[in-house]
Chains A and B, each alone.
Chain A
């Protein structure tokens, strides 16, 4: 098992991502952040908290999306859905999808289909903590990335929030 991001680095990375997401003059009325269930939520919570600390006067729109019903492997395995909470419109807005690990890209593909059933966003961006590069099965890349790593199919990347670290095992 290898530690890819130690606690101190993880904290800095999240802060850096929060700055990157907002540095180009973000319009909080027209931008929404959507965390992907189940594992992207903890990461998205942290990023959004950071953004709220940087901009205490702004209202940050943050929702949670479950993509279970949009998966392309429904017949292989049944997955139990989690809560989807999107209490705002995404019509004409910039949507930033937030997930912890980007691997094959299928989760994000499902998330795109799911989000398009809620409306037509102006622009969709992707923010991910770890990019398992060269492992993609679909043409999907992150716009904001914490750390890109090399990994093989037999390995797993887990974000251990209780230990505040990211491991490759």
Chain B
């Protein structure tokens, strides 16, 4: 028998998603039948096809558009059915708590009165939207689409790193990566009990129709995008197609008599549910940023009148704030009376003097994150930082401690990854996607992001990250 392509692979003592998984046996066997050259050829063909299909995110420079694909690694990340059941239960629990939290925050605020979370953390949060106070949403669902970032530590424990409860992206890559694997590696996937993922669009539109205003028989759903210049435009197209709904931009919509319409060839046509991929700030120039060209004047009036549903709801940003995240275990216990199924990464809230002192004392061991940033920006990874970077971080912490949290440096699990014709360990995370209408459904697997730079722990696409197909295997 030929040497397996995994023979020389050494995870260097880190938790390996492939070697440690009880479900990867058949796949490892099949991989061993492939030569590294054959793997390289198929990987190159797969990446070329992604480019031709235009499964790209867009970068703009010198007024010209550059389309980049999210680099795709062909070696899948494997999850066993047991591992997945655990993750799925944990996510459903978490989203249930988040929706209860938001309903409470925008109604009676029991949680603040009971002192579970400091009131200023919620009411002083820049994503808190006072105009949501007292609005009753169908099924009390605020977060219809959630992406939960999960990492795995060196002992193999799954930990929640971040909740993305505003406009999480990446699900299009999950489905397109699978399509790519089905074309490039039919021999690998054959008959292994792989959970299918191609019903995401059907589940999404069903959930969106469930939250339509009461009494609408056949609700018209649209997807609201900032337009072709948005870096996630491909995903907006993907989702609109999967749901079979119009992809609209702000100027396509008009509000008349607190009702929302779209401009069509036949005149104005009623819109009932908007899956919006625009941040709160830009949704309605009458209510938020007045110079927004992306939004729809009067949209919030129609929303408050209950004539249109927005997904996700306005004001969900208070729930996925990095400072509020630290309280999530307590929030779960408060609303559900249960312990969290998926623990948080231990988090120190630097607005609290004790935590600030702890952070400053152990800066070189900790990861320091600004609470308001996304995309991996502004993070200082203590063990990897230079003395100068640590000094800069210290200064920023001293100047504005409330803007930061710190966490221990989790040694993320790794997965074998094809790098320059070699199989090497690279750190991965996992972003499962959950859809909630009247109840919550989680897409099996999710987006596995991989830090392609050796030793890097940052998996974001803007920072040299790629992706893998994620297989939940029976």
Do A and B make up one complex? no
